[in-house]
Amino acid sequence: MTEKIEKTEAAWRVQLTEQQYHVTREAGTEAPFTGQYDDIKTTGIYRCVCCGQDLFRSKAKYDSGTAWPSFWEPVDQRSTALMTDQSQGMVRTEVRCSRCDAHLGHLFEDGPQPTGMRYCINSASLDLDTEE
């Protein structure tokens, strides 16, 4: 069991930019095509911008044709937590960081094989650690 990270709203506000705070702590969505990781193929590992937990590898990133970074699997099933989101008149599966509850994005079942999953993730919730 991963140890949970909990911080006050004020502490998150100090640590994060306004955009990062809005997305991760208020379940916001960044505007289409604006995210810094939307259209890149750099090799590395994407970590939670809030707590640094490993979330996605660049090899699981693919061009989904949507306006946000998309992955077909997380680093580890335990790194993300899935919740039912009924906001905005839709029933969707919300993806959160399992360690600090940061809102990351949503999960859809129209991704490529082998998983058939599409993790549609906000760039603002990620921090790419590049590797050679």
Q: Is 120 a catalytic residue?
A: yes
- For 59, the 3-state DSSP assignment is helix
CA–CA separation, 1 vs 41, rounded Å?
Answer: 32
Tokens of 26: 């208020």
The region of 34-42, 58-66, 83-91, 97-105 touching Zn ion under the rule CB under 5 A is 97-105
Neighbour-count burial of 81, counting CB atoms closer than 10 A to its CB (0-12 exposed, 13-18 middle, 19+ buried): middle
CA–CA separation, 64 vs 109, rounded Å?
Answer: 12
Q: Is 16 in the site for Zn ion (CB under 5 A)?
A: no
Q: 67 vs 82, which CB is nearer to Zn ion?
A: 82
Q: Is 23 in the site for Zn ion (CB under 5 A)?
A: no
From 23, 60, 95, 100, residue interacting with Zn ion (rule: CB under 5 A): 100
From 16, 50, 121, 126, residue interacting with Zn ion (rule: CB under 5 A): 50
Interface residues with Zn ion (CB under 5 A) are 48, 50-51, 53, 97, 99-100, 102
Active site residues: 120
